[in-house]
Chains A and B, each alone.
Chain A
């Protein structure tokens, strides 16, 4: 997205990606609402949409179900389960169409420095080693976030701020409602996270699990295997792909700009801490970063002061929202299985479309005055 925006704004752009095939391996649940696509002028395309969803079902530790229609949960009208293998290539194509040079299979292994000034990157590929001089480097290198670290920004995640995630892409399974995303909670099956089933049609889904690094006793994939084995509709299916990765859930880094450098996406920890979703914010931030970088280059000033416009704009657009999700995550993490069950019980039959905030608060009050207190900051 950054490459597309920068090229569109007139900059000379080189997009480097260590992957030889963009979008592979998938490190993502692949869920995205329609809103960011519309906002960013990307027309939803059946080539990279594997499923359409419009509702969410939350399953409490004891198995109580709470159903919410998507309108109430996310801002979009509809949600998609993407095929990132095609989607990521599509985004690269959009960047290339705007004039960006795209190089895959190219591993950036250090920053190119002029004294203390960031002057580009050093990389290696099939063509050998290369040095790229650049006025602005946009670090969109994911959860590992090495570029930022090389530049002296500490992006190391604490275990309490990472969800260790494993996912099976499964076929031949029973999906009751292909339009519903399911989230399972419980400290036994998913300590400090949740298990998801994101349908890709009636017999296919992404089945994944995220476990808080500080609470895990076993690798995420072991919990995932147990979950699949405990669900007859999944157990009979086949795993056609195994995905894994870490999701940063501690909120964005305090500063995403330095002289000649912008940090975006997972690398900047621009992730919804409650759901672990990061496609939306990464795309929006990338779009802003590209535009700001191009403008700064054109003006001949690529100092931190000038590039700060990126930080201001993305924080204005999503800063408060990400903060609220972070608080909500903390409330969720502080709840015991019993509290989650009590909450689910109180929400049985509640029509989320119609319920007022006051009535919702009454429900929370009934569940636990302590919970009410915890939620205070969110309302």
Chain B
């Protein structure tokens, strides 16, 4: 999971859909921990298009 910090508003929509509870939402940032599987579900929930994932091919 990559978060564009210029776009992110810290709303936590991504964290609420994360199936492995890997996203931390603090006051000024959102970040994924090592459990992130790059599944991409978070990208669909982000209202401002700040979240992208790199597909591991």
> Does A associate with B in a complex?
yes
Interface size on A, residues (CB 8 A): 36
Report the Cα distance A157→B13, complex, angstroms: 9
B17 contacts A159, CB within 8 Å? yes
Instruction: Identify B49's interface contact among A157, A158, A218, CB under 8 A.
Output: A218
Which residues of B (10-57) have their CB < 8 Å from a CB of A? 10-13, 15-19, 21, 25-27, 41, 44-49
Interface residues on B, range: 20 to 34
Which residues of A (137-156) have their CB < 8 Å from a CB of B? 142-146, 149, 155-156
Given A213-B45, A221-B47, also A157-B16 (CB < 8 A): yes
A166 contacts B47, CB within 8 Å? yes
Report the Cα distance A219→B47, complex, angstroms: 5
Q: Report the tally of A-B residue pairs with Cβ distances under 8 A.
A: 87
A216 contacts B44, CB within 8 Å? yes
Interface: B3 (CB within 8 A): no
Interface: A228 (CB within 8 A): no
1/0 contact string of A226-254 vs chain B (CB within 8 Å): 00000000000000001111101000000
Residues of chain B at the chain A interface (Cβ within 8 Å): 9-13, 15-19, 21, 25-27, 41, 44-49
- Residues in chain A near residue B49, CB distance under 8 A: 218-219, 221-222
Given A20-B27, A213-B17, also A143-B46 (CB < 8 A): no
- Residues in chain A near residue B10, CB distance under 8 A: 25
- Residues in chain B near residue A144, CB distance under 8 A: 12, 15-16, 25
Report the Cα distance A158→B48, complex, angstroms: 19
A51 CB → nearest B CB, Å: 23
A143 contacts B47, CB within 8 Å? no
B45 contacts A156, CB within 8 Å? no
Determine the residue in chain A with the shortest Cβ distance to B25: A144
